[in-house]
Amino acid sequence: MATERSLLHILCIHGYRQNGQTFRERTGAFRKLVKSHAKFVFITAPNVVPPLPSDTKNDQDQRGWWFSRQDDYFNAQDDSHCDKGYENSLQIIKETCKTEGPFDGILGFSQGASMVSLILSLQTLQKEPSFQFKFAILVAGFKSKSVQHASLYETKIDIPTLHVFGENDKVIESAMSEELLKDYSNAKTLKHSGGHYIPATTDQKSVYLEFLQSRIVA
């Protein structure tokens, strides 16, 4: 079993309409699977997402990493000339790296995974010294369609990555995750039969542990 000192230190970037706490709760099964290899830090995006009419009291404090429209709305499928809130989000992540890092890796889910892909591009292009991630896990990731981010997809990323996506994901279709995957030259994939979540059964455990173990050895 790994000691506290040898555990990988991983920064976690939640999905749209989540926050750090809700993402932590939803990753409980995953964290249990890999507890011998990693410890996690969860942060919350600065941008407050307007509630939906169907939201309950349990849906309070929903956040996003950027909006694809000026009226605080986001849709991963929409071509956009807006990335409202992105710079504020980037600043919070940079500050967290400085105050709670260094981090070995970074994990992102859905819009959070898209944010991670932008962070890895900035690191690869050496545009942000705060980012020194050795690996990343992207779950239900996709390419941002905000034109402001287009230049960040012009360079291949060779940072080791694990891309996780579901064949029956109705929120971020698997084709969107596969499109993002093309930008990575040192990637492993974990495709599962489910939907929009982080799979955490014994079927996936060996893949997670093999990927993380290789990072400890490296």
- Is residue 89 part of the annotated active site? The answer reads no
- Is residue 169 part of the annotated active site? The answer reads yes
Q: Looking at residue 146, what is its pLDDT?
A: 97
Predicted model pTM: 0.93
The domain made up of 8-49+61-217 has a fold known as Rossmann fold (3.40.50)
Domain spans in the chain, listed from the N-terminal domain onward: 8-49+61-217
Per-residue pLDDT tens digits of the chain, which is 218 residues long: 454 558 999 999 999 999 999 999 999 999 999 999 999 999 999 999 998 877 766 677 899 999 999 999 999 999 999 999 999 999 999 999 999 989 999 999 999 999 999 999 999 999 889 999 999 999 999 999 999 999 999 999 999 999 999 999 999 999 999 999 999 999 999 999 999 999 999 889 999 999 999 888 65
Residues in the chain: 218
Q: Looking at residue 40, what is its pLDDT?
A: 97
Q: Looking at residue 217, what is its pLDDT?
A: 63
Q: Looking at residue 77, what is its pLDDT?
A: 94
Q: Looking at residue 73, what is its pLDDT?
A: 95
The catalytically annotated residue of 146, 169, 177, 183 is 169
Question: In the numeric block, which tokens belong to residue 24?
Answer: 């932590």
The catalytically annotated residue of 80, 110, 146, 177 is 110
- Is residue 185 part of the annotated active site? The answer reads no
Q: Looking at residue 216, what is its pLDDT?
A: 81
